[in-house]
Amino acid sequence: MTERAFRFGVIAGQARTGAEWTATARRAEELGYDILLIPDTLFTLSPFAALAAAAAATSSLRVGTYVLNTANRTPAHVAWETRSLQTISDGRFELGVGGGRPNGQADTAALGGMWGTPADRLARTADVIAAARDLPIPPEVLVAASKPGMMRLAAEQADTVTFGLPPATTPTELFRAADAFRSMANRADQVELLVGVTAFAPTIFALPDWLSRQVGGDPQEMAASGAATFLIGDADHAAEELRRRRAEGGFSYFAVNGMFMEDFAPVLQRLRATDSVTA
């Protein structure tokens, strides 16, 4: 298993004004994050418009979808938007795709898309990737995978993969998923592994109550049970845990909840300062 250099993203999708949104993008860049990621839901900003604004307000920050519900758009529509955003961002766009988040069917219906069967959504995701790869400046592709079919597609096509596992998943369970993925990918060393960081706090009691809406449960209970998406402790402890996840599981890319962007920055900076692995 080849170790990769660390990479860090910020997941954000809300802003009260355009100035607030572009300020978030500029601050992520100032703090040293590599990429700004946005979900694809009707409760967040429209992904391509928001990412275009973020790219225009920054100079080196990459921008990406985390992840597009491919049932919401035709492959040609995604390719058109991707080509436009690649042009506007000077090649800084990364296309994240998946077969649809839990409860994503309502968004698809509202947008006039075609949800279909799991097999339909897998085929649509493959078609979206093919259309994006055929562009003059193809983007890096992230695939969110949990079921065997999507895992195989990711093993064959993805530059980056994230595993669609429940919020309470432990690091050990993450490592098992990574091992299963590597067993089906003869190009596994070419694929970057991403895991989200829902919260970073000094103690479980410092976790805000509003997190329950994001994780669908009690965040303190999840963190106490060892859920991997919660990093608890000081910056040094968190940095050491992320080093372990890279060494033992191959996870080198960490996408941080935007509400913790400032809190997590010291962890990022420690890892950048001490990392001997280069990109």
- What is the structure's pLDDT at 279? 63
* Eight-class DSSP state of 89: T
The DSSP secondary-structure symbol of 254 reads: E
pLDDT digits (tens, 9 = 90+) for 161-218: 999 888 899 999 999 999 999 988 788 788 999 999 999 999 999 999 999 988 989 9
pTM for the whole structure: 0.95
DSSP letter for each residue of 95-162: EEEES--TTTHHHHHHTT-----HHHHHHHHHHHHHHHHTSSSPPEEEEEE-SHHHHHHHHHH-SEEE
Collapsed DSSP state (helix, strand, coil) of residue 65: strand
Q: Which two tokens stand for residue 52?
A: 């275009």
Q: Which of 178, 146, 189 is nearest to 251 (CA)?
A: 178
- pLDDT tens for 170-185 read 999 999 999 999 988 7
* Long-range CB contacts for residues 143-146, cutoff 8 Å, separation at least 24: 143/67, 143/96, 143/97, 143/98, 144/67, 144/96, 144/97, 144/98, 144/99, 145/98, 145/181
> What is the average per-residue pLDDT within 139-148?
94
For the segment 23-76, what is each residue's pLDDT rounded down to a tens digit?
999 999 999 999 999 999 999 999 999 999 999 999 999 999 999 999 999 999
